[in-house]
Structure 1
Amino acid sequence: MTADLKIGAILKSNGQCRFTVWGPELDSVELELVSPQKDTVLMQKSEDGYWTTTVENVAAGTQYFYRVNQSEDLRPDPASFYQPEGVHGPSAVVDLSQYQWSDDGWKNIPWQDYVIYEVHIGTFTKEGTFEAAIAQLADLKALGITAIEILPVAQFPGDRNWGYDGVFPYATQNSYGGPEGFKRLVDACHREGLAVILDVVYNHFGPEGNYTGCFGPYTTDKYNTPWGNAINFDDTWSDGVREYCIENALYWLREFHVDGLRLDAIHAIYDFSAKHVLAELAEEVAKLSDQLGKPLYVTAESDLNDTRIIRSPEQGGFALQAQWCDDFHHALHTLVTGERYGYYHDFGTCEDLATAIRDRFVYSGKFSPFRRRRHGNDATDLPSHQFIVCAQNHDQIGNAKGCDRLSKLIPFDALKLTAAVLLTSPYIPLLFMGEEYGEVAPFNYFIDHSDPELVKAVYEGRKREFREAHGFGEPAPAHEVSTFEASKLNWDSRRSGHHKTLLDFYRRLLELRRQLQLSTPSYSADIDIKVARDRDQEVIVYQRSLPDGPLLFLMNFQQAVTTIELEAPQQPWQLKLDSAATEWNGPGSSLPETIAEAQTLELPPLSFTLYAVA
């Protein structure tokens, strides 16, 4: 399969290794082998800007650099598969075909059955490695998770980082366990019946260890992102850069058996070509999917509320599988926390959450007070499984004041209510690691840069962002080891007290999701939703049509008992879940087991109730 790779150090079974690097405007490139053998080899240039040479008797682990234009400086390979000594050290040859996979029978799972669990490898376990993560997979499977989404593992500076400062897109982070460790983790996931989504970053390079500029115009100053110059997808020599990124996507899917990709912040991927790079990427992934005989899914993080991302090419779209839907998170978050800073200013009512549940986007072309312009377009004709929603994720926690999870912001009953709204929604749900048992550790922003001036710049930038977003407070010092250590999960807490109760509640919700076929795709027409009012107190009441009959959802976001009038049902309703029940450490409730006639219901404070036809 590695024969499909055009760049990097491709090791063949006969001991030959083909080295290829892209540098369209360079005058010369030399391969410098530094360990275990030392040698200098002049490389040859093709018409399309690729420099290549083949070397005999090369073993896996051989370390090398490139010398460009006879410079005194040696540079690592921009398409390095492994950086054993970090971002400034030599690249290492990897035998990509060496690992013996055990997942031949794995054919992925239907997209609509995905329940995603977002994982940061460094803080997921005490050890912070791929190997240590394997021990937790059985618990996730028992919970009802069907897929893990791993934050970026491309090589970043130092040993600790969120992963979005990666500078070697093909190299698997050395401190996590390198390429071999990642393959073992993916293989173990498949043995447990878990799919794997990998977060990849094609909108920028990190600020330390990015040597791509020494080789060619990988970035462009035509556009700026919040993290620096944008990656060059439509400027001079952009063909090579597009190939670099698209081949990288295929590399993870093919060589590491990853089942899907999450494209980070695509609103910062700028491309005014006749064919957008994301459309081209989706086409190439579809071809690989056919070749491998299993579905491969590409999803996108975007705050644009733009359905072109997921619409078909015939509709002018990019044909990605799904996109994140921030509006759902913001509408839910503001209701349970009362926070209104930053973009939360646009949300805060039950009508907003009701719209998000029914219509995907709250802002589908209407005026956004936060942006001070109209925002979004209509998504009501698209199936619900093309949207990924969450109540928490790494960004929403790590960029909030205090970097606190909901478990530190809202009472226990509100945590249950939030979980139920998320996991019974018609969308693809995403949980952030530890959410299921009410983890209280923050998820701080952390770095391990080696340049003191860069460390200072990051700290000052974070302080400025916090002042602008929150009006007060300062973030934890990102460079300190204690900031990283404080973000690690406390797995033992899930075994007792309200943590265990919450874990059991999540497990029950995911069981109901399967039993009641809540993953069945829906459209706006399938949902009858309204906001009921009593003395200015709001609850959401909605019904959803499903193959086995309709469901009735009752949500009270008030911290007081709220009374509603319910019409007589066509068929009796049977109680399936009451978050206020004492078995869930709730205050108890008087809601009936069966509803067969019109009646008045008293909804407990901060409660969620689900009925199905008897």
Structure 2
Amino acid sequence: MLQRSPVGRIGAYPLGEGRYRFSVWAPLVERVELKLTSPVRRLIPLTQDEQGYWQGEVEGIPPGPVDYLYRLHTAAGVVERPDPASRCQPYGVHGPSRVVDPHFDWQDQGWKGIPLSQWILYELHVGTFTPEGTFAAIIPRLPQLVELGVNVLELMPVAQFPGERNWGYDGVYPYAVQTSYGGAVGLKALVNACHQQGLAVVLDVVYNHLGPEGNYLGDFGPYFADKYRTPWGKAMNFDGPYSDGVREFFLQNAEYWLEEFHLDGLRLDAVHAIYDFSAYPFLQELAERVDALEARTGWPRVLVAESDLNDVRLITPRKQGGYGLDAQWCDDFHHSVHTLLTGEKTGYYQDFGQLEHLAKAYRESYVYSGQYSRYRARRHGNSAVSRPGSQFVICIQNHDQVGNRMLGERLSQLTSFAGLKLAAAALLLAPMLPLLFMGEEYGEVAPFLYFISHGDPNLVKAVRQGRCREFSAFAWRGEPPDPQAEETFLRSKLNWELKEAGHHQVLWKWYQTLIRLRKTQPALQHLEREGVEVELFSGSGLALHRRQGSQSLLALFNFSPDQPATYTDWQGGSWEKLLDSHETQWLGPGSSLPAKSQGDPVEVPPYGVVVYGQNR
């Protein structure tokens, strides 16, 4: 571990009795002044330290919201900008920043987190999860999530973005909580309520780029790298000159979310776009800082990386030469299930579509572990077989895989009801960490579309054109919905009333039953590699064996939509049926599979799944 520089807390915060402290990193700016705009108007010179931080304390500020800007004096002239570490942007991304009192009346003192191996995640977008689109509106829905059985809420990014409609990946103030969602107090109230009901909370954060509108970091210093570029704009400067200040900005940001908001973890967006070739990578330093915070606070914090590199070094312990992150998203599982159910073979789906791909995902997590990828036209990935399944988050739907389709179709629009039950079982019986995407559990039919509310017409035009280019690899025809239109956003809101009746209600109970099975069966709680065996049978069948101690579970899947698959390879003893998707209670036609098996052949119906258990 490198020696940490003694950098104080950046941003603005109250000291009590009308006193406030301000600190901003601007190493190449000639002079910085603090411009107070409310409740008094005042211009205060700041003092620069040897590391490029401009700081100052202000006294005698009367009660009321404290709004401010920084006046930057450079060779090119004078500009006034909001604080890069602003905690609140009440007037939007271009207006003054506001000081936020960090105090909150927390009521989660007994909370100690949930072990990573037990996580069942539920990803949601704050703006479309409820009609109101706020943190406060989520709280009354929490009992339904607890009843379902999920135990980790994963929030898509909430850092301040332009306008009121956005996925969150266009955020430009990494410390400020989106005002239209309810701001910092609203987020803390949500986390507090989640912990009181036994739910952990993970926040999606973006450290690989900033959005284009309201992005003023470049005026303060060399936050961006000239030598790298992400698909979404300039890359952050994590390894060039002055990169220490950039890294500290994001390291403190992670600590801020985890400590001040009592979050249980962070999902790190697209770490493959964090370009850093230094000897001490940012991701490793981040993991070490979070470990130190965990030791200081006494309960676990988790870092989950999103990466399409299939590089096990991300989650390999630092003592073994890795970065030491706790877990990562693993898209290979999604692609394997999706192609089997939909037959899609364009874009990155061209690398999948065989039942053996899903079998390897169960065995090793990465399907591509060094072999040739047609989509990438090169070899891809390395082996993850040395790491346990508890380090891999998998899904059958998420915001990317749904929202980056041209029409935002959910799986409910791409396969049959039997296919939905099969996919849910494939996910929740897997020896990895399952993630559900909001509404998936009852077969939501509303699309999840890409939406924005930018104020710059030229930027809006560029986004429209960019979305069309993204879809070209998938050969989708037609025009995508206008991302700037409010209607696109409104169409993406959940229809909660669906879950109360018909096949939607049955699907919800199916998910609930699978989650309960996962929580109560020891073999399903064991996520080590040695407890998992997979075999293919009868052309379209996959048998997943899960073992722990004296218990064995056997899940038989049939991925043919019209042909049965016969399984014969029982491993002795008596087996009891625990779950059967073709029973009438699950709106199946009725099942002929025996309640107990002594090893006789069983015929798994088309798009069917059956689970048998054995205790010795």
Question: TM-score under structure 2 normalisation?
Answer: 0.97
Counterpart code for 2:594: P
The equivalent of 1:295 in structure 2 is 300
Q: How far off is 1:474 after superposition?
A: 2.5
Cα distance in 1 for residues equivalent to 2:8 and 2:346: 47
Tell me if the contact between 2:123 and 2:438 (Cα under 8 Å) persists in the aligned partners: yes
Verify: 1:67 aligned to 2:71, yes or no. yes
The change in CA–CA distance for 1:337 and 1:114 in structure 2 (over 3 A counts) is same
The equivalent of 1:572 in structure 2 is 574
Counterpart code for 1:589: S
Greater mean deviation of Cα atoms: 286-295 or 468-477:
468-477
Counterpart code for 1:553: A
The equivalent of 1:95 in structure 2 is 101
Tell me if the contact between 1:5 and 1:251 (Cα under 8 Å) persists in the aligned partners: no
Greater mean deviation of Cα atoms: 541-550 or 343-352:
541-550
Tell me if the contact between 2:119 and 2:152 (Cα under 8 Å) persists in the aligned partners: yes
Counterpart code for 1:442: P
Verify: 1:371 aligned to 2:376, yes or no. yes
Q: How far off is 1:568 after superposition?
A: 4.5
The equivalent of 2:3 in structure 1 is none
Tell me if the contact between 1:516 and 1:548 (Cα under 8 Å) persists in the aligned partners: no
Cα distance in 2 for residues equivalent to 1:78 and 1:553: 51
2:556 pairs with 551, 554, 557, which one? 554
Aligned length: 607
The change in CA–CA distance for 1:430 and 1:518 in structure 2 (over 3 A counts) is farther
The equivalent of 1:357 in structure 2 is 362
The equivalent of 1:529 in structure 2 is 534
Cα distance in 2 for residues equivalent to 1:452 and 1:130: 29
Cα distance in 2 for residues equivalent to 1:556 and 1:464: 36
Tell me if the contact between 2:23 and 2:53 (Cα under 8 Å) persists in the aligned partners: yes
Tell me if the contact between 1:383 and 1:521 (Cα under 8 Å) persists in the aligned partners: no
Q: How far off is 1:109 after superposition?
A: 1.0
Greater mean deviation of Cα atoms: 378-387 or 196-205:
378-387
The equivalent of 1:7 in structure 2 is 10
The within-5 A match list for 1:378-527 is 378-518=383-523, 520-527=525-532
Q: How far off is 1:517 after superposition?
A: 2.9
The change in CA–CA distance for 1:433 and 1:569 in structure 2 (over 3 A counts) is same
The equivalent of 2:23 in structure 1 is 20
Per-residue Cα deviation, 1:404-448 (whole angstroms, up to 9, x for no partner): 000111000000000001001010000000000000000000000
Report the secondary structure of 2:81's partner residue. coil
1:36 pairs with 13, 18, 39, which one? 39
2:89 pairs with 74, 77, 83, which one? 83
Q: How far off is 1:50 after superposition?
A: 0.1
Verify: 1:152 aligned to 2:157, yes or no. yes
Cα distance in 2 for residues equivalent to 1:542 and 1:106: 35
The equivalent of 1:187 in structure 2 is 192
Report the secondary structure of 1:576's partner residue. strand
Per-residue Cα deviation, 1:182-230 (whole angstroms, up to 9, x for no partner): 1100101001110000000000000100010110011111101001110
Counterpart code for 2:101: D
Q: How far off is 1:381 after superposition?
A: 1.5
2:337 pairs with 324, 329, 332, which one? 332
Cα distance in 2 for residues equivalent to 1:13 and 1:224: 43
The equivalent of 1:55 in structure 2 is 58
1:304 pairs with 309, 312, 331, which one? 309
Cα distance in 2 for residues equivalent to 1:481 and 1:139: 28
Report the secondary structure of 2:55's partner residue. strand
1:256 pairs with 249, 254, 261, which one? 261
Tell me if the contact between 1:466 and 1:473 (Cα under 8 Å) persists in the aligned partners: no
Q: How far off is 1:16 after superposition?
A: 1.2
Cα distance in 1 for residues equivalent to 2:64 and 2:335: 48
Counterpart code for 1:586: G
The change in CA–CA distance for 1:84 and 1:412 in structure 2 (over 3 A counts) is same
The equivalent of 1:142 in structure 2 is 147
Q: How far off is 1:467 after superposition?
A: 2.0
Tell me if the contact between 2:39 and 2:64 (Cα under 8 Å) persists in the aligned partners: no
The within-5 A match list for 1:583-598 is 583-597=585-599
The change in CA–CA distance for 1:184 and 1:568 in structure 2 (over 3 A counts) is closer
The equivalent of 1:612 in structure 2 is 613
Cα distance in 1 for residues equivalent to 2:187 and 2:406: 33
Cα distance in 1 for residues equivalent to 2:499 and 2:565: 34
CA-based RMSD: 1.4
Counterpart code for 2:95: G
Counterpart code for 2:89: Q
Counterpart code for 2:81: R
Q: How far off is 1:72 after superposition?
A: 4.6
Cα distance in 2 for residues equivalent to 1:474 and 1:244: 40
The change in CA–CA distance for 1:296 and 1:582 in structure 2 (over 3 A counts) is same
Tell me if the contact between 1:561 and 1:603 (Cα under 8 Å) persists in the aligned partners: no
Counterpart code for 1:277: F
Report the secondary structure of 1:553's partner residue. strand
Identity of aligned residues (%): 52
Report the secondary structure of 1:222's partner residue. strand
The change in CA–CA distance for 1:60 and 1:93 in structure 2 (over 3 A counts) is farther
Per-residue Cα deviation, 1:289-344 (whole angstroms, up to 9, x for no partner): 01000011011001111000000112211111101111101001100111111000
Tell me if the contact between 2:543 and 2:554 (Cα under 8 Å) persists in the aligned partners: yes
Q: How far off is 1:538 after superposition?
A: 1.2
Cα distance in 2 for residues equivalent to 1:518 and 1:402: 39
Per-residue Cα deviation, 1:381-410 (whole angstroms, up to 9, x for no partner): 211100000000000001113110001110
The within-5 A match list for 1:185-264 is 185-264=190-269
Counterpart code for 1:207: P
Q: How far off is 1:14 after superposition?
A: 3.0
Q: How far off is 1:545 after superposition?
A: 1.3
Verify: 1:175 aligned to 2:180, yes or no. yes
Cα distance in 2 for residues equivalent to 1:440 and 1:291: 45
Cα distance in 2 for residues equivalent to 1:201 and 1:181: 20
Report the secondary structure of 1:550's partner residue. strand
Cα distance in 2 for residues equivalent to 1:383 and 1:306: 14
Tell me if the contact between 2:524 and 2:546 (Cα under 8 Å) persists in the aligned partners: no
Counterpart code for 2:365: R
Q: How far off is 1:562 after superposition?
A: 1.6
Counterpart code for 1:250: E
Report the secondary structure of 2:536's partner residue. strand
Q: How far off is 1:5 after superposition?
A: 5.8
2:132 pairs with 127, 138, 148, which one? 127
